Amino acid sequence: MAATAQPNVKNVWLGGVEPMKASYGKLMMWFFLVSDTFTFSALLVSYGLVRYSYPAYAGKVVDFVSSPTYWPIPEKVFDALPFLHGLHAPLVFVGIMTFILIFSSVTMVLAVEAGHRNDRATVEKYMLWTLLGGATFLGCQAWEWTHFIHGTEGGTVIKELVDGSWVSKTVFGANLTVNQYGPPAFADFFFFITGFHGTHVFSGVVLNFLVFYRTATGTYERRGHYEMVEKVGLYWHFVDLVWVFVFTFFYLV
């Protein structure tokens, strides 16, 4: 009895090593990025809910006893520039940081494109530029944190209850319990959201360095492809895109 011929039906989820024409590594990277998107979304939504439960306040001095606790306007807080003491430039430094990170995303695109052409020298060049951009962004963020923690020269006068009586004191800078800019939640969200994103940038810088090193030593050239550059590129673009949302929600809104 002749065997019944089976129809030649191709199922993208059965057999083969590249379902939907994407390698296993790319699929896992996409799964990770989607899950990480939920984490950042939850943080930004939480920030928005807390942010709009406070009235906005454009000044620098807050009386926590006789008046409500006001939410500071970011452009009044982040208005300093390195080496330019006394110059008020609202959000200029944060804008420079954003430009650096976006520019590094452009160089990553060029590195991926060169990898598709198996152009080792060009991949090295643009991976180096991407690496330098990420490291510069981290350096800028470290300065911003330092300035935020140190505070302004005048500080902010607040009142606290000590031994049954209210005592005035001047607070400089910010920490996780009190800060001169407004309610403690403002500093909490600043440290957590920008710190969480900074951790991602640091991880991306480490990955970019490894890719640059392996490119320079010819590892991917011997493999015959530069897929790892593309996978790390997906992560780096995600980090850049998230910063656009962090910049918009935290600094602009």
pTM over 0.75: yes
Work out the burial of residue 146: count CB atoms within 10 Å of its CB; fewer than 13 is exposed, 13-18 middle, 19 or more buried.
exposed
- pLDDT (tens digit per residue) in 193-230: 999 999 999 999 999 999 999 999 988 888 888 889 99
| Integer angstrom CA distances of residue 17 from 11, 22, 46, 226 | 12, 9, 40, 17
CATH 1.10.600.10 fits 24-55+64-252, yes or no: no
The partner residues of 157 in beta bridges, in order of sequence, read 170
pLDDT band at 65 (very low <50, low <70, confident <90, very high): very low
Element (H, E) at 156: strand 156-162
- pLDDT at residue 61, as a whole number: 46
Contact assessment for residue 60 and residue 156, using Cβ atoms and an 8 Å cutoff: yes
Give tens-digit pLDDT for 27-52: 888 889 999 999 999 999 999 999 88
* Per-residue pLDDT, 202: 96
Higher pLDDT, 234 or 76: 234
